[in-house]
Amino acid sequence: MLGELRSLAMISGGMILGTMGGKAIDKVLKVDDTLPGFQAKKFVRPAALLGAGVLGSLKLKNQDLKMLSAGVGASGVVSTVKVVLKKDLLSGLDGTPEIAAPMTVYQDPVVHSIESYEPNLPALSASSYEAEEQTIKSYSPGEVVSDYTDAEIEII
């Protein structure tokens, strides 16, 4: 487990080193991201980082240094995507991540007027319940029920 954590730490350290080195390269070359159009200066950073990452992974014998150079190469891939697609994959690290941005709820500006539904039902009266009570015959305990009729079902 410690070996895996060390590998992840070395790759992450390589990503950080690559990002810092890439910013230093951009500062030295005075790359301006706000200018529109093609600029050859923008491709120096990804090429240098990818080259350093691949060369380090091929030539170095120490496994930790190979992981470090793989992180530098990975930062080169991220900067290549940023230059080509003009989208930063790690935009959450420099500024506010899109996930943490304040969420808004869409509200339809059109006011819908819905009429209330009132069905035309007959009114209920209490007299219908009383009439049913009068038709029910009550039996006292021990009384023989002679009016009992069998149901028309047969149990097999």
In a domain, 21, yes or no: yes
pLDDT digit string (tens) for 56-68? Answer: 888 888 888 888 8
pLDDT digit string (tens) for 122-136? Answer: 887 766 555 455 555
Supply angle C-alpha 109, 112, 113, rounded to 5: 145
In a domain, 111, yes or no: no
Segment 103-122 mean pLDDT: 71
pLDDT recorded at residue 146: 59
- Binning the chain into helix, strand and coil, the percentages to the nearest 5 are 55, 0, 45
- Nearest-10 crossing angle of helices 63-85, 2-29: 50
In the predicted model, is pLDDT for residue 141 greater than 80? no
Q: Is the torsion defined by CA of 82, 86, 90, 95 positive or negative? A: positive
In the predicted model, is pLDDT for residue 39 greater than 60? yes
Query: DSSP letters of 44-107?
Result: HHHHHHHHHHHHHHHH--SHHHHHHHHHHHHHHHHHHHHHHHS--TTHHHHS--TTTSPP----
In the predicted model, is pLDDT for residue 156 greater than 60? yes
In a domain, 55, yes or no: yes
What residue numbers bound the domain in which 82 lies?
A: 1-99
Segment 104-133 mean pLDDT: 67
pLDDT band at 145 (very low <50, low <70, confident <90, very high): low
In a domain, 133, yes or no: no
In a domain, 29, yes or no: yes
In a domain, 138, yes or no: no
pLDDT band at 109 (very low <50, low <70, confident <90, very high): low
Give the range among 23-27, 36-40, 92-96 with minimum mean pLDDT: 92-96
In a domain, 143, yes or no: no
In a domain, 127, yes or no: no
In the predicted model, is pLDDT for residue 36 greater than 80? no
pLDDT recorded at residue 5: 87
pLDDT band at 6 (very low <50, low <70, confident <90, very high): confident
pLDDT recorded at residue 107: 63
